[in-house]
Amino acid sequence: MRIIFIGDIMGRSGREALEKHLPTLRKELQPDVVIVNGENAANGAGITEKICKEFYEWGVDCITTGNHVWDQREIIPYIARDERLLRPLNFPPGTPGGGLYKHRLNDGRTITIINAMGRLFVDALDDPFRGVREALANEIMGKTTNAVFVDFHAETTSEKMSFAHHLDGRVSAVVGTHTHIPTADAQILDGGTAYQTDAGMSGDYNSVIGVETEIAMHRFVKKMPGERMRPAKGEGTLCGCYIVTNDNTGRALSIEPIRIGGRLAQQRPTNA
């Protein structure tokens, strides 16, 4: 199975990068599924129903989120009726929406997509390690599902790496989001799980993790609140990764970073 995952869409710059570059990626890579983290898509804070529908029109199959999922209050009733829009599964029971979506391809193959959130330096939720293991209790790669993809939205590299090793061999891929910086550690773990600590932000990198530089710097220089954070508005870089898995085992065959447009060094997958 061919999987495209795009990291945190940051404001208008990130949305424009997705709209501009995703059609080309779909043509070049012929993915079976496209997954996008959209938790910063609405002016850097949350996502709206309108933006979700735009993403689907552009060829996105599933949208993941994270700690900013509730920033736009209108999403609360919408997420309850859109199974393709995920929130971290380790929110307490009774929280609107879900953290797992099983996507079926036209040829009958399936991919189980999971969204989970870490607990270090973010709001403490239920245990994501136990939560994902329980969610996968009845899933066997290659039998009940052809692939399992996990977006782990977390702050620290140690928690992300521990989470990936904990699930190694049980899922096809664990890719981190949240820190807005693409890491250079795309790899396949010993058990066959593809891993990257952070897919990176899709947005304007002439910024401080996507926020206008002067606004972000003020908090460090003055050590006091300043203007409300606003996304930078320059040309965005589309960041993510491209993963190929074995349909019979669910194990990853390859993982390659994606960086297209904007000011970062460009990288397009070669294993098309």
Which CATH number do you get for residue 85?
3.60.21.10
In a domain, 224, yes or no: no
In a domain, 136, yes or no: yes
In a domain, 212, yes or no: no
Give the count of domains, the chain: 1
Mapping DSSP to helix (H, G, I), strand (E, B) and coil, where does residue 111 land? strand
In a domain, 219, yes or no: no
In a domain, 181, yes or no: yes
Residue 166 to residues 50, 171, 190, Cα–Cα distance (Å): 36, 10, 12
Whole-prediction pTM value?
A: 0.95
In a domain, 137, yes or no: yes
**Residue 134 is which amino acid?**
E
* Per-residue pLDDT at 272: 59
In a domain, 269, yes or no: no
Comparing CA positions, the residue from 189, 181, 159, 156 lying closest to residue 239 is 181
Pair of tokens at residue 262: 């904007």
Q: Could you read off the pLDDT tens digit of each residue along the chain, which spans 272 residues? A: 999 999 999 999 999 999 999 999 999 999 999 999 999 999 989 999 999 999 999 999 999 999 999 999 999 999 999 999 999 999 999 999 999 999 999 999 999 999 999 999 888 899 999 999 999 999 999 999 999 999 999 999 999 999 999 999 999 999 999 999 999 999 999 999 999 999 999 999 998 888 888 888 778 888 777 777 888 899 999 999 999 999 999 999 999 999 999 999 999 998 75
In a domain, 228, yes or no: no
**Positions marked active-site:** 68
* Domain extent for 48: 2-205+235-260
